Amino acid sequence: MQKFINLILLSFFVITANWSHASELEETLTIIETRKTAMQGIWYRIKRLSPYVELKEKVDYNKELATLDAKEIITLLDKTKNLWPEKSNISSKNFTNATPAVWALPDYFEKLYSNAEKSAIGLKESIDKDDIDNTVIAMCNLGKACGTCHANFRRLLTS
């Protein structure tokens, strides 16, 4: 009878552990998907801001929309800042395009991320002030910060 009880207890612990693992994987995948969606949102807003900043094209886009996009970039960067827990380091399983370097070099990653945040804040402030020269500089700095981070911490995808 004791063996039977031990077998039932062992089965219970194995099943519970598997549920816990599945739940943790689901949580990790949710973090990765949230991060990915936010980053795509940042990219969408940068693309929408570019013609406005460059003044090369007549666009149906105004200062109010530019300010909202710049503010949303700041918000998205802030929300994704803490979406890099160690458990989301599953790039070897192709669940994320982030490379393990994000977690191996956290101080450098933080520095680049901070540069993106500062550039986004500068972008919004320069748009608010109608300072086109500093808007262009801030947009370039944001592109440089994002590009440097992606060059160092994102797996190159080719078709």
What single-letter amino acid sits at 96? Answer: T
- Note whether 72 and 45 are within 8 A (CB): yes
Read off the pLDDT of residues 21-60 as tens digits, 9 standing for 90 and up. 558 888 999 999 999 999 999 999 999 888 877 775 566 7
Exposure b/e, 19-31, CB count within 10 A at least 16 = b:
eeeeeeeeebeeb
User: Quick one: how far is CA 63 from the chain centroid?
Assistant: 26
What single-letter amino acid sits at 3? Answer: K
DSSP state of 92: G
Grouping H, G, I as helix, E, B as strand and the rest as coil, residue 124 is helix
- Could you identify the residue written with the tokens 């440097």? 148
Residues of the chain with pLDDT under 50: 6-7, 9-15, 19, 158-159
